[in-house]
Amino acid sequence: MSEAIVELKNVNIYQGDSMILEDVNITVNRGEFVYLVGKTGTGKSSLLKTLYGDLDFHEGEGMVAGYDLSKLDWRQIPYLRRNLGVVFQDFQLLTDRNVNENLKFVMKATGWKDEKLMDEKIADVLDKVGLKTKGFKMPFELSGGEQQRIDIARAMVNSPKLILADEPTGNLDPETSDEIMQLLFNICRDYNTSIIMATHDYPVINKFPARTIKTERGKVWDNASIATS
């Protein structure tokens, strides 16, 4: 039987007092790759923020990586996020420290203490993203594609069950986008990691097809057609 990493039932998602998405029903299983598409302002980011505990959960049933979103309080959010990795469009690397220190910063923030174990894990995730010799480089010394690979490595330091990728190819040229997509699909397959990727990049979806969820008119449509987008 498949293990559900994300399960939302009859969920209403709010920003402040405004309902952004109504009656959301989604299940994402372990090791599944899912695209999240939709025009700007239709609720993609709100849905992602709900999954990693950045928006308060109001109505419905929600489980993410074994955590009940309806019972989540501020003390539990760091533990939820240890089971998640988040990949950003603009990389969000700390510009005043090198790659190793960027990764170590996130690890310490999520409870790592043993320096030797941290160094071993950093070497491991940099190897997985093909940048094992780049640990001492500063972010400005890396190409856009390399910075995105570091962002993905950072998302992997806690061996997450789920990676949420928000427009990870948005600032990259087509060739580099293809490399990043291949890396994400490999992580999904090789480590049985679920990935939900928000994107506007329809050529990427056509080249790397997977299940697609769409936000539109306050609803979430599963297995959506993107031909009309």
Print pLDDT tens along the chain (229 aa).
679 999 999 999 998 889 999 999 999 999 999 999 998 889 998 999 999 888 989 899 999 999 999 998 888 888 888 889 999 777 789 999 999 999 999 899 888 999 999 999 999 999 999 999 999 999 999 999 999 999 999 999 999 999 999 999 988 899 999 999 999 999 999 999 999 999 988 899 999 999 999 999 999 998 765 543 3
The number of distinct structural domains making up the chain is 1
Give residue 226's pLDDT: 55
Residue 144 lies in a domain: yes
pLDDT of residue 224: 60
In a domain, 188, yes or no: no
Question: Range of 98's domain?
Answer: 94-159
Closest by CA to 21, choosing from 57, 52, 53, is 57
The reported pLDDT for the residue numbered 149 is 94
Q: How far apart are CA 167 and CA 152, in angstroms?
A: 12
In which residue are the tokens 């990727």 written? Answer: 197
Token digits of residue 209: 């097809």
Q: Give the position of tokens 């993905």.
A: 152
Q: Is residue 32 part of a domain?
A: no
Is 201 a domain residue?
Answer: no
pLDDT at 225: 57
For the record, the structure tokens of 181 come out as 């997509």
Residue 16 in any domain: the answer is no
CA distances 5 to 32, 65, 183, Å, are: 9, 5, 21
- What Cα–Cα distance (Å) separates residue 220 from each residue in 38, 44, 114, 216? 9, 9, 42, 6
106 found inside a domain: yes
Asked, for residue 137, whether it belongs to a domain, the answer is: yes
In a domain, residue 63? The reply is no
